[in-house]
Amino acid sequence: MWDLVTRDYSNLLTAKDVVNNVKKYARNGSIITFHDSLKSIDKLRTALPESLQWLKDQGYEFKVFPDNPDETR
């Protein structure tokens, strides 16, 4: 289950606000939720790459969940 919703869909937030949410709330093991909807797409184009770069710079690594929960990667 996710533990960080970026609120990228909110019309009250800018892309910078979304990135700041990631910076403020990301922790080891976080599952971060970005949305690919019309409400968020303009912010997503900026906030997602900036967030990913910041996370990499902080030493975070990224994992892919298997399609089948019984599989291991």
pLDDT score of 65: 76
The number of folded domains in the chain is: 1
Map 20-51 to HEC letters.
Answer: HHHHHHCCCCCCEECCCCCCCHHHHHHHHHHH
Half-sphere exposure of 3 (CA within 13 A, CB side): 8
20-71 per-position pLDDT tens digit: 999 999 999 999 999 988 888 999 999 999 999 999 999 999 888 788 767 6
In a domain, 35, yes or no: yes
State how far the Cα of 61 lies from the Cα of 52, in Å rounded to an integer: 10
In a domain, 29, yes or no: yes
Phi, psi of 5 (to 5 degrees): -100, 120
Range of the domain at 37: 4-57
Confidence check: pLDDT of 4 > 90: yes
In a domain, 68, yes or no: no
3-state secondary structure of 69: coil
